[in-house]
Amino acid sequence: MADEVKLDISPMYEGERIRKEDLWIEMGGPKTDGFELSLSAPMDEIQDGKVTVIGPEPSEIKPGSTIAFGMIFKAGGDKIEKDLESIIERRNHALLSYVSGLMHLNQRYDIWMRMGNNLQKKGVTKWEQIFKPIIELYKAEMPFIEKLEVTIITDPAKVKEELAKALDIYITRDARAKGLHDEEVDVFYGCTLCQAFAPTSACVVSPDRPSLCGAITWFDGRAAAKVDPEGPQFAITKGEATDLVTGEYVSINEMAEKRSGGEYNVMKLYTFFDAPHTSCGCFETIGFYMPEVDGIGIADRDFKGPAPNGIPFSTMAGQTGGGKQIVGFLGMGVLYYFSPKFLQADGGWNRIVWMSKALKERVKAGIPEEMYPKIATEDDAKDIDSLKKFLLKVNHPVVNGVVRPVDGQKVTEGWKLEEVTDDIKEKVIAFIEESGGDIDVAAVNEKLGLTEGQFMQVIEVLQDEGVLE
Ligand code: SF4
C-alpha cells in the first residue's frame, strides 16, 4: 500500500468547511458529476479493507481542480440487510467529515466534497491513504459491518456510467417507500444525524413524509433502528394524533422537544406554515412562500438563477438551514412530492405556484393532472409580476382562494387589492363603459389584470361612493 499518512480523525472536525483558499481538490458539487452509493454484498464477495481506484490519484490531479467523483462502498455482515444500504450510505456525511481536511455535503447524486491543502501537506498522494482509515472508522462506528471495501472513481466517463446505474438504484429504493402510508404503520422514525451541522435539527421520517435529504426512507429508518437502537435513527411510537390534517402527533412533539434541547415543542408533518418540520441544510429542494401571490414556489439544488422572489437557491439555503423552524422556507425531499399528504394542511398542490423546470419534470407523476399546467416554471415567470400574470391567465387556485382537497376547507381568501386607488377606479369605469355592461371574467383578467374578486372589490367601492348603482 501507499505510504501511510497519519490523518487527524475526530468528530470535532464534523461541520468543518473548506474554503476556496484552503482547497486542494474539489470532488463533485454543482459544476460536475458526483455520487455515492453503498451496497450490501455476500461476505465472500468482499475483500475487507480493499480500496480500488478507477482514474487519477490525488497526486495526478492539478491542485485547485474540480473533478467528477464517485464512491461505491460494498458492505457485508450477518446483520446486514438491503434496507441498511441507505443508512450506511448516509453515514458518509458524518464519517468522512471526521477527517480533518475532508468536507462532505449533500447526498446520493448530489455530493459535494473538498479536500483541503492540509491533506496534501500531510503527504496524501493516493485515495487509499484516506479511504483505508475511513473503512476502519466505518467498522468501529457501525459494528454490524463486518467487511467493507470501496471503489473510488475519478475517471469522468466512468463516473457518468456508474452514476446512471446508481440513479436506477435510488429510484428502486424510493419506489418501495411510495407504496406505504402513515395510516398503515404504528411507528415513525426519527433521525438526528445532522445535528453536528444543525444542532437543533430533528427529522421525522414517516411513510408519507420522507426525509428532506432524500437519503432515508421509512424502511431505512426501520432497518437502522433495529440494528443500532442507540444510533442516530430511532423509533417513535406513533400514538395519538392531535391533528391528522396538519400531521401533529403527541409523540413527535415530545421527540422534537427532547431532541432539540427545548428549542421547540411542536412539529407538524404536513404543513409549511405553523410549526413546520425543521430544515437542517441537506434538503434536496427548498419551498419558499411568496406573500404577493399567497403561494409556494419550489427550487432544486441545480436551479442556478434567482427564483421569482429574486433569491437564488444558495441564498435561500442559507436562510432555511441550521435546524430551525423557519416559517416561509422549508427544506423538502423529492420523494415528498409523491406523497398524498404533501403539504395537505396548506392546500397541497393547489398552493404550489412555481417550480424550477427540471424539478417539475422530475416529479411530474406526483402532480395532479389538472394542476400541472397551472404551475409556472422559469420559462413562464422570472419575477413576481410575470408570475402574477401567469397565475391569473391559468386561473390558478391561489387567485380566487385555495380549497384544500383533504377536507374541502378554504385556506386562502384569494387575491385582494390592498388599496383601491383612483387609477384602478378609472380603469374599471372605462372598462365597464367600453364593454357596455357585459362583463366577462376572462376580459377582466386580461385587460385589467384583476381577478374577479379584485374587480368586485373595486365595484363595491364605486357603489359606496355612488359612482355606480
Ligand atoms: S437530513 Fe434528517 S433524515 Fe437526513 S440524515 Fe440528516 S437528520 Fe437524518
Which of 64, 61, 51 has the alpha carbon at shortest distance from 154?
61
Task: Identify the pLDDT of residue 170.
Answer: 94
333/316 Cα distance (integer angstroms): 16
The separation between the first and the last C-alpha atoms of the chain, rounded to the nearest angstrom, is 92
Say whether 65 sits in a helix, a strand or coil. Answer: coil
Task: Identify the pLDDT of residue 2.
Answer: 52
Residues 338-392 have pLDDT tens digits of 999 999 999 999 999 999 999 999 999 999 999 999 999 999 999 999 999 999 9
CB 376, CB 311: distance < 8 Å: no
Among left, alpha and beta (phi > 0; psi -120 to 50; other), residue 347 is left
Q: What are 154's three cell numbers?
A: 475519478
Q: Which ligand 1 atom sits nearest the alpha carbon of residue 90?
A: 5
**Could you say which residues of the chain have pLDDT below 70?**
1-2
Is 282 touching ligand 1 by the criterion CB < 6 Å? Answer: yes
Q: For the chain, what are the domain ranges?
A: 11-178, 182-400, 422-464
- Matching fold, domains 11-178 and 182-400: no
Residues 78-135 have pLDDT tens digits of 999 898 999 999 999 999 999 999 999 999 999 999 999 999 999 999 999 999 999 9
Architecture of domain 11-178: 2-Layer Sandwich (3.30)
Q: What are 433's three cell numbers?
A: 363603459
Fold for 182-400, please state it: 3.40.1470
Task: Identify the pLDDT of residue 3.
Answer: 72
Task: Identify the pLDDT of residue 44.
Answer: 96
Torsions phi, psi of 55, nearest 5?
120, -175
Task: Identify the pLDDT of residue 374.
Answer: 98
Q: Which ligand 1 atom sits nearest the alpha carbon of residue 195?
A: 7
Q: How large is the angle between the packed helices 422-435 and 452-464, nearest 10 degrees?
A: 100
Pocket probe for ligand 1: among 92, 110, 203, the residue whose CB has the most ligand atoms within 8 Å is 203
Pocket probe for ligand 1: among 174, 194, 219, 234, the residue whose CB has the most ligand atoms within 8 Å is 194
The count of other CB atoms within 10 Å of the CB of residue 196 is 19
Task: Identify the pLDDT of residue 192.
Answer: 93
Task: Identify the pLDDT of residue 118.
Answer: 96
Which amino acid, residue 378? E
Task: Identify the pLDDT of residue 324.
Answer: 85
Nearest-5° Cα angle at 423, 419 to 424: 60
